Amino acid sequence: GQQVMQIPQYQHVQEGEDFTTYCNSSTTLSNIQWYKQRPGGHPVFLIQLVKSGEVKKQKRLTFQFGEAKKNSSLHITATQTTDVGTYFCASIGAGTALIFGKGTTLSVSS
């Protein structure tokens, strides 16, 4: 079945450094969604990308959807300690269910 693979699994950065997580699929995706889960919390929706080559920004976060709609990335510029958490990508699978990647856990040291 459809799968989305995320890399890296873990990433540690110094505060102020940039961070990128990648999401890849062997099949064409109808859309891609990104979620953030703070330690001890629940996933929170960040954004949805639908169009080929789409780029969206939220302050220091930049989201991209590949031209072939098989990959996506989330880039954080100048990380802060508030960026700590696990970032998941997800795409629509069978029916309305989302297929989640395994997530990238970001830690930031000040």
Partner 1 sequence: SQTIHQWPATLVQPVGSPLSLECTVEGTSNPNLYWYRQAAGRGLQLLFYSVGIGQISSEVPQNLSASRPQDRQFILSSKKLLLSDSGFYLCAWSQLGYEQYFGPGTRLTVT
Among residues 11, 24, 48, 62, the one that binds partner 1 under rule CB under 8 A? 48
Question: How far from chain centre, in Å, is Cα 58?
Answer: 13
User: Looking at 18-26, 38-46, 64-72, 74-82, which segment touches partner 1 (CB under 8 A)?
Assistant: 38-46
User: Looking at 17-25, 44-52, 53-61, 72-80, which segment touches partner 1 (CB under 8 A)?
Assistant: 44-52
- Please give the radius of gyration of the chain, using alpha carbons only, rounded to the nearest integer: 13
101 binds partner 1 (CB under 8 A): yes
Among residues 14, 42, 59, 110, the one that binds partner 1 under rule CB under 8 A? 42
* Least distance between partner 1 and beta carbon 16 (Å): 26
Report whether the peptide linkage leading into residue 8 is cis, meaning its omega lies within 30 degrees of zero: yes
The Cα 105–Cα 69 span in angstroms is: 24
The Cα 33–Cα 54 span in angstroms is: 12
| Residue nearer to partner 1 on the CB measure, 26 or 97 | 97
User: Looking at 15-23, 37-45, 52-60, 64-72, which segment touches partner 1 (CB under 8 A)?
Assistant: 37-45
Question: Could you tell me if 93 and 1 are in contact, meaning their C-beta atoms sit under 8 angstroms apart?
Answer: yes
